[in-house]
């Protein structure tokens, strides 16, 4: 007969009297597992050297505070000193000779100091793992400030400790989904060895307790040993699992374990759900803080870039004794795609450039800077207006990953004769205005970067005729 799994989310079974004895035999202090390992090392040290080791506490810091409370391994604040194993009663029996230290005190002290150094490195490594797991819990990159990550880890553990104390749980842990939502990684824990944080993620497939919880409800495992189809990540008597996040946006689960099999009241379930909500708020708060910090950095960069762009836009300049050049560009924001530029070329011509990119903001600023840079370089090479326009179009047409199109007008004016030539692309309006009226000098054509083979035909004009009438050239994009 095929075994059927229960469809309900909360699972209850009768307490078995014989289970109490098994639970007592299995009872252990997870917070002291690392300390037990240290005791085992020190016992081996005593057996090998004949010197016993006793612990001594380090003095408190200047503020009078005790060692950090979140370190549950018992390593911080403990160091050791050597004592002789042999009882000093003034008499030595033949049996006592085997208990005499086999190495000198100096050599034993050196070995003990080496063990202390390894303990320090173990403690430092576990604290680093603890901080990094808090980073990953909030998807904060390694560039975040270490103090902020440590505070996040402390707050997550504080939430777990408070909820565990309220419901009488022995240990608790936060498991978050990976990007592919196929596995769960422990990001924070209490009542468990910190070395658990270094373990690889466990697969979500087959973790029925987590799967049921991710549907949006707390799951009660009142007797884990009698429910092998609902596997627990840790070996305890009972557990309660709550979801972190929502059905539409699941982030992971939080587990609370108890040594003995037990039931859970509605109030205790609500406490666990509230703790899961606080964990979610803490993660979102950390994400928001990081986004605010990144937003401020981006704003500073944009402000700096806008000042640089503004410095590239001249307002007035006398390039020749007979010609004054004035212009201004309005940007729709700190950064934009508008640009203008003028200069005296090596062949004694006046070069003028005005235009606007299709895009606004930083993307438009990139297009504008590209056109200004190419034009200035071509001016120094004494290129014609048509060849400059062709070079700009070829480059911008080849860049297909974004919109690099722009409208622009490029002028050459001979200051000695008043004759000039114009090439334009896109939406450009240019007029020669004099006492006799005005006439347009711009031709309709495609924008820069819109066609691979555009035709740029220079338009000729004169700003001073034979009768001495002086005209003005006006350009509008």
What is the residue-wise DSSP string for 407-455?
EEEEEEE-TTT-EEEEEEESS-EEEEEETTEEEE-PPP-PPBTS-SS--
DSSP 193-257: -GGGGGSPPEESTT-HHHHHHHTTS-EEES-STT-TTS--SS--SEEEEEEEE-SSSEEEEEEEE
pTM, whole model, 2 decimals? 0.46
- With vertex at residue 221, the alpha carbon angle to CA 219 and CA 223, rounded to the nearest 5 degrees, is 170
Q: Looking at per-residue confidence, does 47 or 159 come out higher?
A: 159
Q: How confident is the model at residue 468 (pLDDT cuts 50, 70, 90)?
A: low
Going 109 to 114 to 117 to 119, the CA torsion angle's sign is negative
Mean of the pLDDT values across residues 68-79? 40
Q: Find out whether 39 and 47 touch, Cβ atoms under 8 Å.
A: no
Contacts 24+ apart (CB under 8 A), 36-43: 38/74, 38/75, 38/119, 41/115, 42/80, 42/115
Is the per-residue pLDDT at 335 higher than 90? no
Q: How confident is the model at residue 435 (pLDDT cuts 50, 70, 90)?
A: confident
pLDDT given for residue 87 in this prediction: 53
- With vertex at residue 465, the alpha carbon angle to CA 459 and CA 466, rounded to the nearest 5 degrees, is 135
pLDDT given for residue 304 in this prediction: 85
Q: Looking at per-residue confidence, does 126 or 445 come out higher?
A: 445
Helices 146-167 and 266-311, packing angle to 10 deg: 170
Mean of the pLDDT values across residues 303-315? 84
pLDDT given for residue 124 in this prediction: 72
Q: Can 10-84+92-286 and 312-476 be said to share one CATH topology? A: no
Quick: pLDDT tens for 392-430: 999 999 887 788 999 999 989 888 888 888 888 888 888
Q: Looking at per-residue confidence, does 11 or 384 come out higher?
A: 384
pLDDT given for residue 11 in this prediction: 41
Residue 121: partners with Cβ closer than 8 Å, 6 or more residues away? none
Query: Quick one: the chain helix, strand, coil %, rounded to 5?
Result: 40, 25, 40
Quick: pLDDT tens for 3-39: 444 444 444 333 444 444 433 333 344 334 456 677 7
Mean of the pLDDT values across residues 280-296? 73
pLDDT given for residue 231 in this prediction: 92
Q: How confident is the model at residue 97 (pLDDT cuts 50, 70, 90)?
A: low
CATH architecture of 312-476: 4-Layer Sandwich (3.60)
User: Taking the domain 10-84+92-286, which CATH number applies?
Assistant: 3.30.450.40
- With vertex at residue 249, the alpha carbon angle to CA 243 and CA 250, rounded to the nearest 5 degrees, is 30
Q: How confident is the model at residue 300 (pLDDT cuts 50, 70, 90)?
A: confident
pLDDT given for residue 268 in this prediction: 94
Is the per-residue pLDDT at 123 higher than 60? yes
Q: How confident is the model at residue 240 (pLDDT cuts 50, 70, 90)?
A: very high
- Alpha-carbon distance of 274 to 268, in angstroms, equals 10
pLDDT given for residue 243 in this prediction: 94
Q: How many CA atoms within 13 Å lie on the side-chain side of 13? A: 16
Q: How confident is the model at residue 140 (pLDDT cuts 50, 70, 90)?
A: very low
- Alpha-carbon distance of 138 to 127, in angstroms, equals 17
pLDDT given for residue 255 in this prediction: 96
Residue percentage of the chain with pLDDT more than 90? 23
Measured in degrees and rounded to the nearest 5, phi and psi for residue 335 equal -115, 150
Q: What's the chain's average pLDDT?
A: 77
In the chain, domain spans: 10-84+92-286, 312-476
Mean of the pLDDT values across residues 248-253? 88
pLDDT given for residue 8 in this prediction: 42
């Amino acid at each position: 007969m095929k075994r059927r799994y229960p469809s309900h989310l909360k699972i209850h079974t009768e307490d078995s009297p014989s289970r109490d004895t098994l639970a007592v035999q299995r009872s252990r202090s997870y917070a002291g597992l690392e300390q037990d390992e240290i005791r085992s090392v020190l016992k081996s040290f005593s057996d090998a050297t004949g010197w016993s080791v006793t612990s001594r506490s380090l003095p408190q810091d200047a503020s009078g505070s005790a060692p950090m409370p979140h370190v549950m391994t018992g390593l911080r604040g403990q160091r050791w000193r050597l004592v002789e194993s042999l009882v000093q009663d003034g008499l030595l029996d033949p049996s006592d000779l085997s208990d005499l230290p086999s190495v000198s005190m100096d050599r034993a002290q050196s070995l003990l100091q080496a063990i202390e150094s390894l303990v320090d490195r173990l403690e430092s490594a576990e604290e680093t793992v603890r901080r990094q797991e808090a980073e990953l819990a909030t998807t904060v990159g390694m560039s975040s400030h270490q103090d902020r990550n440590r505070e996040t880890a402390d707050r997550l553990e504080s939430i777990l400790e408070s909820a565990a104390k309220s419901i009488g749980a022995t240990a608790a842990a936060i498991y978050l989904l990976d990007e592919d939502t196929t596995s769960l990684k422990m990001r924070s824990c209490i009542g468990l060895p910190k070395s658990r944080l270094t373990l690889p993620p466990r697969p979500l497939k087959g973790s029925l307790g987590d799967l049921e919880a991710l549907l949006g409800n707390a799951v009660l495992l009142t007797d884990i040993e009698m429910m092998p189809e609902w596997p627990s990540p840790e070996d305890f008597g009972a557990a309660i699992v709550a979801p972190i996040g929502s059905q539409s946006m699941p982030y992971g689960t939080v587990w609370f374990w108890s040594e003995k099999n037990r039931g859970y009241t509605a109030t205790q379930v609500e406490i666990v759900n509230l703790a899961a909500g606080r964990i979610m708020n803490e993660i979102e708060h950390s994400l928001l803080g990081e986004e605010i910090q990144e937003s401020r950095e981006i704003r500073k960069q944009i402000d700096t870039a806008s000042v640089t762009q503004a410095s590239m836009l001249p307002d007035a300049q006398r390039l020749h004794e007979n010609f004054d050049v004035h212009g201004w560009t309005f940007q729709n924001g700190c950064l934009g795609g508008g640009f203008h530029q003028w200069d005296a070329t090596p062949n004694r011509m006046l070069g003028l450039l005005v235009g606007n990119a299709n895009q606004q903001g930083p993307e438009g600023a990139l297009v504008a800077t590209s056109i200004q840079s190419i034009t200035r370089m071509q001016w120094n090479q004494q290129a014609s207006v048509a060849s400059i326009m062709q070079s700009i179009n070829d480059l911008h047409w080849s860049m297909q990953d974004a919109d690099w199109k722009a409208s622009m007008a490029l002028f050459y004016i001979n200051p000695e004769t008043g004759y000039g030539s114009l090439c334009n692309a896109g939406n450009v309006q240019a007029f020669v205005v004099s006492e006799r009226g005005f006439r347009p000098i711009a031709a309709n054509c495609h924008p820069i970067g819109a066609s691979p083979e555009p035709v740029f035909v220079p338009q000729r004009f004169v700003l001073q005729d034979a009768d001495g009438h002086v005209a003005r050239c006006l350009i509008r994009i």
